[in-house]
Structure 1
Amino acid sequence: MSLDGPMRTPSAAEADAPHHHLSAEMIAPLCDQGTGGPGCFVARDFDLDSVPEGAVLHLSAQGLYRAFLNGQRVGNDLLTPGWTCYDDRIAYQSYEVSSLLRPGRNRLEIWLGDGWYRSRLMWASNPIENTWGDRIAAFAELVAGGRTILRSDASWRSGFTPVTANGIYHGEDHDARIRPADTHGVEVLSFDRARLVPHETEPVREMDPVAPVASWPDGETTVFDFGQNCAAYVRIAVQGPAGAHVRVEFSEVLGPDRAFDNRNFRSARAEQHYTLKGEGVESWAPMFTFFGFRYARVTLTGGARLLSIHQVPVTSVPVAAGGFTCGEPAVNRLVLNTIWSQRSNFIEVPTDCPQRDERLGWTGDAQVFAGTACWLADCERFLTKYLRDVRHDQRPNGAVPHFSPDPTRLHPIAGRGDWAGSTGWGDAIVIIPWQLYLHYGNRAVLAENYPAMRKWLDYLWSISDGPVIRPPAEWGAHGFTFGDWLQPVGDNRKPRPTIADDCAATLYHAIANDLTARIAAILGHDSDAAALRERAAAIRAAFAHEFFAPSGRIAHNDQTSWALAFLHDLVPEAHREAGRACFRKVIEDAGYLIGTGFIGTPALLPALTKLGMTDLAEKVFLNRRVPGWLYQVERGATTIWERWDAIGEDGTIYDPEMNSYNHYAYGAVCQWLFESVAGIAPDPDRPGFDGVLIDPVILPALGHVEMWHDCRHGRIEAAWRIEGPRVHYRVTLPEGCTGRLMPNPARRGWQIGEAAIAIPEGGMPLPSGQHRISFDFDMTN
């Protein structure tokens, strides 16, 4: 087996069947010089009379590890053991390694990196090092036939690796002239083995390497364009004398005149450095870090020659579970951009961005994107594991963290308050389990998170001791909210209205309460469900009193307020017609430009669709100006931007101090593409795609639409095309999945195949199989 060859990771059941009680020690190299210091290894030589069958190696670490057995890499997982709230649990991986063993002398060597465990996290103004501890360490146990062959203990040795510095934000430096040697001993650390859990999600893996699509000189350096922004590193092949050096810098975008610009990385050095050993062709990629980039700038010194360079994308979700295409190429690129942003930020936890000095598991981003995430990839284990971190970080008062794993819980930042408790962010504890239930049908995720949901609801009520939440303006104060983060205001000489914090917070108070009431009923907590429904009535009445004028206009008359209020049925019946008119005028007055931020954007098009205003939805979705989804595409984006105005029309980079070009939040629009435009939505009464609700929204400008999604029953497909006044719609449902074709009063002449049909008020059941449906469509609607 080659050094980089694949090896299947057994499941937890396989690895521990028959179950083996782990007895190894967590051992720290005595040569370790602390955070940012030279890399270390721990190792042990051992003898075997013969090679045992079914030998399994269990591995974990404080920090990150890369293991070698007799010089060959163990497995092909990356960034192991992964990222968790390490004071709660640390994952371990299990590998079948019989093929790597040999009779006689063997050697297990484990290289260690700082990783998330003790690398600097947070941004430069609030840096936190050694978040979960200041000692990197390894845990290893080799078992076969129910007995332990080797375990990490005080007899192991340690030494330095060629990795001279590493860190999540720092990058990695490697001096190939350094030969690992056993120079030091190890220290057995106090460690509770009960914290060890089998890896809870799919491992981080490499995707296919990508060659540059272009390159050009930049002074004494060369810039390479890989054509795709993503989370990755580069693998290089170089040749030259010993001591020659390769420096690789990264950026997501270029400034005017193709200027290399990574100012938005802020204090993250984010570089790869390689010093040659001078022995023929040398191939290298880092082990303990990753970057977010499309462009790489390479500087060669000391006679180094670059023979090849490839971008190697990495992710926890490399396999697509869904796709959407239509007749508008920019929309197809938008969907692909969303997929790449998800891949880039689904690395152990759902992060905001993969490039700068942040890369944190923001709960607000995750909750708005959870539905889209489950359409585009199998996220059941990934998000279930993330929720365990969120629950561990939940504060005693019920506040849910702004991000998880949360470095500030163990290291509070003086003067910044508690980094927990924002509405829209903390609601992840309710919304993500619900999306997992809809997509995968597992009630266990609801039950597992239900106590945390109740604690969160009690916290929300406590902010203002009542249904209307009045958040403080002070950042970090009890009940602080981000509101509709980055909501655009248009022309700053005459800005458009935006939602106020109290309205945004109270809207989400209602959303979380309603959903938890529904979950309580599903779980059989009938008294809880009744109490929550009673509380829901109080919140709705208070919301209507506080935020609606007698004329029916909502307080701030902005797109986010209207979208969330209509989507979640918080507009009183008496005000619905007036509200529809106000909502329409707000959209038209904005010139069909988006006026929503992080929490409003996922609701905007679904709300317009729910109200039958598909003409507005189409114009807003397809506008090419800023702010708009397709503006990003036409500016050359290959991932989703953090800010609508991240690059100006003249190509200038806006506010590099807070500007990521790989943030998935606004990609949440893809949920609407699947569920509304393609017309396939999970049926909450038959979760896990046991049933779907079928109701396509026809947008003539798209020409045609096709979607597919691999659910637990198999592949769902749907497609529509327009021919004259008729829409032809094809749906394929796998065995075990049935549908309900929903009525639409604006449509006439329904047919399935050649047979005319009338759709009853509650919808028409459709069995598994393929269905060809047609109907008349009013192009003016």
Structure 2
Amino acid sequence: MNFQPKAVGGDLVSRAWSGDMIAPLSDRGQGTAASFVAKTFICDGTKMPAELFISALGLYRCFINGKRVGEDLLTPGWTSYDHRVAYQRYDVSHLIKSGQNRIEIWLADGWYRSPLMWGQKAIPNCWGDRTAAMADLVGPNGVILSTDASWQSGLLPIRKSGIYFGEIYDAREERLVETHGTVTLPFDKALLVAHETAPVRELPAIAPIDTWTDAEGRTIYDFGQNIGGYVLYTVRGAAGAEVRVEHSEVLGPDRYFDNRNYRTAQAHTIYTLRGTGDETYSPHFTFFGFRYARVTVTGNAHIVTISSVPISSLPNLAGSFSSGNALVNRLVQNTIWSQRANFIEVPTDCPQRDERLGWTGDAQVFAATACWLTDSRTFFRKYLRDVMADQREDGAVSHFSPDPTRLHPENFPGFAGSTGWGDAIVVIPWVLYTHYGDRAVLSECLNAMVRWVNFVWSISDGPIVRPPSRWGDRGFTFGDWLQPVGDNRKPRPTIADDCAATLYHFISTDLLAKIAAILGDEVLAERMTGRAEEIRHAFAREFIAPSGRIAHNDQTSYALAFLHDLIPAEHHAAARQHFRQVIVDADYKIGTGFIGTPALLPALTKLGMDDIAEKVFLQEEVPGWLYQVSKGATTIWERWDSMAPDGTIYEPDMNSYNHYAYGAVCQWLFENVAGISPSATAPGFAEVIVDPAPIAALSPVTAHHDVRQGRIEAAWECRGNRVTYRLTLPEGCVGRFRPGLRHQNPSINGEPVAEEAILRPGTHQLVFSLPQS
């Protein structure tokens, strides 16, 4: 039998398994003490290589002879488990000894059966009600050991564990006792695939920057950075003493510890000491979103050391952007930290409250920024497979994936089909194609794309989409979610659902036409091109007045319509002026929500309104990017008004301080301000579009991006209206610079540029003057 992994389609890898999926009979069900399965085995005296292939239903950690296998966290990961379950492969040669050996696999509820979703309707046992493990230990001569019903089981010192709940751990119970056997579960081994992306790992620990004691005698630690992760501490004291750690993102007045925005997520750990010198603890099977920790010690014990430990699937950066503005630089760092905290197995909305779900809308608006900041290709490939697994029969795409509601619609009916969210199935593959040249992802997702755009057309049986207003009805849309309205006595204009839905109807249909052409499906390309044109003309008839004014006269409508060329030529000048005026009338404050914000500054730059883009981006009042930075944010907020100017916390029922969506502005910083973009005609940065749009107030600017060919570097400095721009391209990349109106009298390496310049690998200096205002 072949026990080596093998490709089974795309980059999915499977293998032939000898072991069975075994469940511990000690397990008492969701929300009870965690269990382990264990086996003692004999190896001969010859030192030999050995590999462990391992997976689980729930989460696992494995130990051989008391030593942990690997450093990966939250294994086997989170997928739509009825579609596929990940397995890991570890070299364990150094852990195996001659003679008797012991293997233990610790199991916990994890995403598999922890209550997911929010409030009283949270869904327990979503994918199953039994935790279980499967493993093959393989040597050069074949299988040494596999999971079967001969394994034993017992309870762990983890007395309760849950994704939202946290963890209770009693160190007095660390001597594992085998009290029960195991049972083989019916399980389709074809579901098992090698883990599809980088594992979740720890980042360097963060020491507290401040500590104080509250009125009840509890110690509060400020770690200075909001993260997704956990608290690690060493404690010393008597057996039976207890340490409780609670988490929060913000403080209320008078440094009051406030975690009301966690809603029903208890998000805490409780550790009971065994009483033997220094004891070090961090949770095993959960994580939290927090900057602050409140520690309550009951009994005779004291904290020796404490730190916060960030975790992420993508801890390593692939890009950077810095400028002469400290607030902007902090904004970029906030985006990086929000991505890290939310890119834990899936791109979640937030890491703290009773939600932590892979919302498709957040992911699609942020995908390009994610790819600028980290190598996100395999991470999104994995996520897209969950999106496809959760797609409904009629083509509707889930609001989030993996989707607990798909298997339990009685709890949360109708959680699929929103434009702007479901469009992730088209937009994200396109981003992966342009950034990485990943043509395979287009092929893999093509059928799902077609089903999605057909679904959107079917909502109103035509090019104009008229979504129902009631949540859960077929075709309901979130529109421009959390779009600010300004003064509630006289709110600013906001986009209507039909306009927002029709805009995205066009965006995905137009992209699908391009994708079909790339894949050589001429029939589909022609059909989608025709449909996109039908939507384009219908949009103009329905939403653009003869004066060039878009129906709702709001920032999102103009930004998306201009960015995607939906304004007819005869209305272009007038619509441009309306767009400008609506921003001036808003005192240059942002009027866009989740779908409009990523388009706002790129649209202004595309129209040459650099002065407006500068004022919108750099204004420091609410709503604005730099407002939250000025209020001390270390991650991106969910709402523009998450905190009032006086520090008052906005209504906590839906108010995350670690939500990456508005950090999508970083795409504009790389592609427009730094002036480097991927090319759709030569993807994967084989060609770099060079088109800097300097904001003088940000000078000097430097940026880099690591691609498969090497490192791209861009930098510019502005003196007066004169810009000196330096670009370095690695071998395998060429640049294409076409002067625009903002590039007056351009020269490259001392040679004037008339129409277009092709830049070969190496370092180049572009000099030009900005137009006089």
Residue 126 (structure 1) aligns with: 121
In 1, Cα distance between equivalents of 2:539 and 2:645: 40
Query: Which of 400, 403, 406 is the aligned partner of 1:406?
Result: 403
After superposition, residues 407-486 of structure 1 pair within 5 angstroms as 407-414=404-411, 417-486=413-482
Query: Which of 353, 362, 367 is the aligned partner of 1:365?
Result: 362
- Give, in angstroms, the shift of residue 670 of structure 1: 0.2
Residue 241 (structure 1) aligns with: 238
- Give, in angstroms, the shift of residue 49 of structure 1: 1.1
- Would the aligned equivalents of 1:200 and 1:385 in 2 still touch at CA under 8 Å? yes
In 2, Cα distance between equivalents of 1:130 and 1:594: 42
TM-score, normalised with respect to structure 2: 0.98
SS of the residue corresponding to residue 560 of structure 2 reads: helix
After superposition, residues 8-87 of structure 1 pair within 5 angstroms as 21-87=16-82
Once the two structures are superposed, residues 383-402 of structure 1 have per-residue CA deviations (whole angstroms, 9 ceiling, x without a partner) of 00000000000001000000
SS of the residue corresponding to residue 273 of structure 1 reads: strand
Letter in 2 for 1:359: R
Percent same amino acid among aligned pairs? 63
- Would the aligned equivalents of 1:12 and 1:199 in 2 still touch at CA under 8 Å? no
Residue 170 (structure 1) aligns with: 165
- Give, in angstroms, the shift of residue 431 of structure 1: 0.2
Query: Which of 259, 270, 277 is the aligned partner of 1:280?
Result: 277
Query: Which of 504, 509, 522 is the aligned partner of 1:508?
Result: 504
Residue 5 (structure 1) aligns with: none
In 1, Cα distance between equivalents of 2:522 and 2:691: 32
In 2, Cα distance between equivalents of 1:323 and 1:579: 35
- Give, in angstroms, the shift of residue 21 of structure 1: 2.1
In 2, Cα distance between equivalents of 1:110 and 1:747: 63
Residue 777 (structure 1) aligns with: 770
- Give, in angstroms, the shift of residue 11 of structure 1: 9.6
Change (3 A) 1:96 1:740: same
Change (3 A) 1:701 1:268: same
Asked if 1:527 corresponds to 2:520, the answer is no
SS of the residue corresponding to residue 80 of structure 1 reads: coil
- Give, in angstroms, the shift of residue 53 of structure 1: 2.5
SS of the residue corresponding to residue 749 of structure 1 reads: strand
Structure 1: unaligned runs, 5 residues or longer: 1-9
SS of the residue corresponding to residue 249 of structure 1 reads: strand
After superposition, residues 532-551 of structure 1 pair within 5 angstroms as 532-551=528-547
SS of the residue corresponding to residue 772 of structure 1 reads: strand
After superposition, residues 142-157 of structure 1 pair within 5 angstroms as 142-157=137-152
Letter in 1 for 2:701: V
In 2, Cα distance between equivalents of 1:60 and 1:425: 31
Letter in 2 for 1:447: S
In 2, Cα distance between equivalents of 1:329 and 1:689: 29
In 2, Cα distance between equivalents of 1:51 and 1:240: 44
In 2, Cα distance between equivalents of 1:300 and 1:684: 58
Change (3 A) 1:111 1:467: same
After superposition, residues 641-652 of structure 1 pair within 5 angstroms as 641-652=637-648
- Would the aligned equivalents of 2:485 and 2:492 in 1 still touch at CA under 8 Å? yes
Residue 757 (structure 2) aligns with: 764
SS of the residue corresponding to residue 384 of structure 1 reads: helix
After superposition, residues 366-381 of structure 1 pair within 5 angstroms as 366-381=363-378
Residue 6 (structure 1) aligns with: none
- Give, in angstroms, the shift of residue 748 of structure 1: 2.3
Asked if 1:563 corresponds to 2:559, the answer is yes
Once the two structures are superposed, residues 709-767 of structure 1 have per-residue CA deviations (whole angstroms, 9 ceiling, x without a partner) of 00111100000001233210000001001010121134322222233x1231xx31111
- Would the aligned equivalents of 1:401 and 1:420 in 2 still touch at CA under 8 Å? yes
Structure 2: unaligned runs, 5 residues or longer: none
- Give, in angstroms, the shift of residue 125 of structure 1: 3.7
- Give, in angstroms, the shift of residue 417 of structure 1: 3.2
Once the two structures are superposed, residues 300-339 of structure 1 have per-residue CA deviations (whole angstroms, 9 ceiling, x without a partner) of 0111111011101000001000000000000000000000
In 2, Cα distance between equivalents of 1:725 and 1:371: 30
Change (3 A) 1:471 1:566: same
- Give, in angstroms, the shift of residue 23 of structure 1: 1.4
SS of the residue corresponding to residue 706 of structure 1 reads: strand
In 2, Cα distance between equivalents of 1:420 and 1:346: 22
Change (3 A) 1:369 1:58: same
Query: Which of 717, 722, 726 is the aligned partner of 2:722?
Result: 726
Once the two structures are superposed, residues 522-543 of structure 1 have per-residue CA deviations (whole angstroms, 9 ceiling, x without a partner) of 0000111111111111101111
Asked if 1:218 corresponds to 2:214, the answer is yes
SS of the residue corresponding to residue 231 of structure 1 reads: strand
Letter in 2 for 1:530: E
- Give, in angstroms, the shift of residue 413 of structure 1: 3.3
Once the two structures are superposed, residues 267-310 of structure 1 have per-residue CA deviations (whole angstroms, 9 ceiling, x without a partner) of 00000110000011101111100000000000001111110111
Residue 632 (structure 1) aligns with: 628
- Would the aligned equivalents of 1:481 and 1:501 in 2 still touch at CA under 8 Å? yes
Change (3 A) 1:581 1:19: closer
In 2, Cα distance between equivalents of 1:286 and 1:111: 13
- Give, in angstroms, the shift of residue 584 of structure 1: 0.5
Residue 99 (structure 1) aligns with: 94
Once the two structures are superposed, residues 623-646 of structure 1 have per-residue CA deviations (whole angstroms, 9 ceiling, x without a partner) of 100000000000000000000000
Residue 232 (structure 1) aligns with: 229
In 1, Cα distance between equivalents of 2:561 and 2:504: 10
- Would the aligned equivalents of 1:436 and 1:445 in 2 still touch at CA under 8 Å? yes
Change (3 A) 1:530 1:613: same
- Would the aligned equivalents of 1:741 and 1:759 in 2 still touch at CA under 8 Å? no
Change (3 A) 1:51 1:158: farther
- Would the aligned equivalents of 2:247 and 2:293 in 1 still touch at CA under 8 Å? yes
Residue 316 (structure 1) aligns with: 313
Letter in 2 for 1:370: A
- Would the aligned equivalents of 1:54 and 1:97 in 2 still touch at CA under 8 Å? yes
- Give, in angstroms, the shift of residue 52 of structure 1: 4.7
Residue 487 (structure 1) aligns with: 483
Change (3 A) 1:488 1:163: same
In 1, Cα distance between equivalents of 2:85 and 2:699: 50
Residue 344 (structure 1) aligns with: 341
- Give, in angstroms, the shift of residue 146 of structure 1: 4.4
After superposition, residues 585-600 of structure 1 pair within 5 angstroms as 585-600=581-596
Residue 602 (structure 2) aligns with: 606
Letter in 1 for 2:625: W
SS of the residue corresponding to residue 444 of structure 1 reads: helix
Residue 114 (structure 1) aligns with: 109
Aligned residues: 764
My pick for the range that moved more, 716-725 or 573-582, is 716-725
SS of the residue corresponding to residue 177 of structure 1 reads: helix
In 1, Cα distance between equivalents of 2:404 and 2:491: 37
- Give, in angstroms, the shift of residue 51 of structure 1: 4.5
Query: Which of 233, 236, 249 is the aligned partner of 1:252?
Result: 249
- Give, in angstroms, the shift of residue 250 of structure 1: 0.3
Residue 612 (structure 2) aligns with: 616
- Give, in angstroms, the shift of residue 779 of structure 1: 4.8
- Would the aligned equivalents of 2:14 and 2:192 in 1 still touch at CA under 8 Å? no
- Would the aligned equivalents of 1:51 and 1:101 in 2 still touch at CA under 8 Å? no
Once the two structures are superposed, residues 202-221 of structure 1 have per-residue CA deviations (whole angstroms, 9 ceiling, x without a partner) of 00000011111110011210
- Give, in angstroms, the shift of residue 600 of structure 1: 0.2
Residue 201 (structure 2) aligns with: 205
In 2, Cα distance between equivalents of 1:105 and 1:175: 28
In 2, Cα distance between equivalents of 1:151 and 1:605: 57
- Would the aligned equivalents of 1:26 and 1:188 in 2 still touch at CA under 8 Å? yes
Letter in 2 for 1:561: S
SS of the residue corresponding to residue 306 of structure 1 reads: strand
